[in-house]
Amino acid sequence: MEDREGCQVIVNLRVNDEIRSAVARPADTLLDVLREKLGLTGAKPGCKNGDCGACTVLVDGWPQKSCLVLAVEAVGQWITTIEGLKDTPIQRAFIEQWAFQCGYCTPGFIMNSHGLIQHHPNANDETIKDWLSSNICRCTGYREIKDAVTSVLKEK
Amino acid sequence: MIPIDFEYYRPAAADEAVRLFQQLSSQGKEPVYYSGGTEIITLARINLFQTRAVIDIKGIPECSALAFQDQKLVLGSALTLSRIYDSNVFPLLGEVAAGIADRTSRNKITLGGNLFSRLIYREAVLPLLLTDSVLLIAGRSGVKQIQIDRIFDRTMQVEKGDFVAAAMTDLNYLSMRYAAVKKRKIAEIDYPLVSLAAIRVDGMIRLAFSGVCAFPFRSRLMEEILNRGRQPLKSRIEEAVGQLPAPILSDIRGSAEYREYVLKNVLSESIRELGGA
């Protein structure tokens, strides 16, 4: 990756099990590169300030707000966006538990919840609350979202 | 979108990072060390941060260390706050760190980044101050070891071009009784009204604070007063609060009067919890 000030660089990202290349500025966030260069618009721009969680993706399996990650930082890491999840238990649970209304926050919540379930299959209420507090739902569907997570954990 | 352009470097060794810093400085690029980068990104986005080069220290092995060495715990400055909490190797630091921002943000925010935050809270410094931790500072003359209270005075006071590679804490401190309390205005995720960390060492309680004044601090004068066993606790607290190192903050999260009220309650609860009443 060559880097000269003001110049763009070629960033090779491992996204959803594929190597994807993009021309970007070193100052471009992962969120912007995913959406504008790679056409992966599942991660949503909300506050762009690390507060709302709508842009959450998994980086090496851990939820991260892609507005707080530079794309160049993510080179060499495994990035999973909502487009990379196919019929997972948490996606089915969101449908079964009516865990969304307008749907804008949903990809971020699902990515965070998926990360939680992978890392803490026996998560207690305190851990669930701690992790889910990273995301904001303007429609205030928090109860149903928590129910969706809990239902998957119970299945496990 | 971040409206400024900068170069991005990811050195693999501390001396390489220091050399890069010197080189980029001489070119007038005002480089900054970059770890979690959350504050740099959010401030740069709104034009409150300027640089023409960032040096990412996450590729430097010392900065990612989580190890026990010579009766000390070594925590790299690029470890995320979540990693420190999840590891449970330093429970007081883990608990204080878990009160910063939210879980997903803590998957990115690092120990070093919090110590050097431009915000006034920098809560991760509190446990390090209480445990006389030693910082490994990488600079032009190599890596120096400096006890944190010699280098932290309201903010980190490192020389230009130096950076903190790791913190070392004596293992004896890690199992001592402690208290960590963070009071916020309403929300569960917010900056503190009062954040207190305390540890009982050889029968004496050490205390450090954030959110009370415009900087985090540990006050040995306040500790001396608060540890006077024969004096009633309420009277000790009144006297100690009179010895704060700066005026109590008064802002949108709480007036100075309210913060003082909260501080006194937090002190009372924490000292009782640690058997110092």
The token pair at B9 is 């470097």
Residues of chain B found within 8 Å of residue A69, distances taken between Cβ atoms: 37, 41, 108
CB B78 within 8 A of CB B31: no
The answer to whether B210 touches B121, Cβ cutoff 8 Å, is: yes
Three-class SS state of B194 = strand
Ranges of each domain in chain A: 2-82, 85-155
8 Å CB contact of B105 and A131: no
pLDDT (tens digit, 9 = 90+) per residue, B121-145? 999 999 999 999 999 999 999 999 9
Give B29's contacts in chain A (Cβ within 8 Å): 5
pLDDT at A148 over 90: yes
Residue A91 C-alpha, separation from nearest chain B C-alpha, in angstroms: 20
Instruction: Flag if B44 and A27 touch (Cβ within 8 Å).
Output: yes
Q: How far is A119 from chain B (nearest CA, A)?
A: 11
Find out whether B192 and B174 touch, Cβ atoms under 8 Å. no
Regions of chain B where pLDDT drops below 50: none
Q: A105 contacts in B (CB within 8 Å)?
A: none
Interface contact A80, partner B, CB < 8 A = no
B277: enclosing H helix or E strand: none
A8 interaction partners in chain B (CB closer than 8 Å):
none
Of the residues B4, B8, B83, B86, the best mutation for testing chain A's interface (the one with the most A CB atoms within 10 Å of its CB) is B8
C-beta separation of A90 from A132 below 8 A: no
DSSP 3-state assignment of B209?
Answer: strand
CATH no. for A85-155: 1.10.150.120
What global pTM score does this model have? Answer: 0.96
Give tens-digit pLDDT for A51-65. Answer: 999 999 999 999 999
Per-residue model confidence (pLDDT) at position B187: 84
Q: Give the up-direction half-sphere exposure of residue B229: CA atoms within 13 A in the CB hemisphere.
A: 6
Q: Which pLDDT value is given to residue B22?
A: 98
Question: How would residue A95 be classed by pLDDT, with cut points 50, 70 and 90?
Answer: very high
Give pLDDT tens digits for B103-121. 999 999 999 999 999 999 9
Mean per-residue pLDDT over chain A, rounded: 95
Looking at beta carbons, which residues of chain B come within 8 Å of A57? none
Give me the CATH code for the A2-82 domain, please: 3.10.20.30
pLDDT of residue A50: 97
Residue A6 scores a pLDDT above 70:
no
- B47 residue type, one letter: N
CB contact under 8 A, B42 and A49: yes
Contact residues, chain A, for B189 at CB < 8 Å: 133
Mode of pairing for the β-strands spanning B53-56 and B7-9: parallel
Exposed, middle or buried by CB within 10 Å (0-12, 13-18, 19+), for A21?
exposed
Q: Percent of chain A having pLDDT more than 70?
A: 96
Candidates A35, A36, A37; CA nearest to A57 is: A35
Mean pLDDT of the residues in chain B: 97
Dihedral angle over CA of A58, A64, A68, A70, nearest 10: -30
A3 pLDDT higher than 70: no
3-state SS, residue A76? coil
Residue A92 C-alpha, separation from nearest chain B C-alpha, in angstroms: 23
- What is the longest distance spanned by two Cα atoms in chain B? 62
Q: Do B189 and A133 touch (CB under 8 A)?
A: yes
Residue of B nearest to A134 (CA): B102
Whether residue A1 has pLDDT greater than 70: no
pLDDT in tens, B203-242: 999 999 999 999 999 999 999 999 998 999 999 999 999 9
Cβ of A68 and B38 within 8 Å?
yes
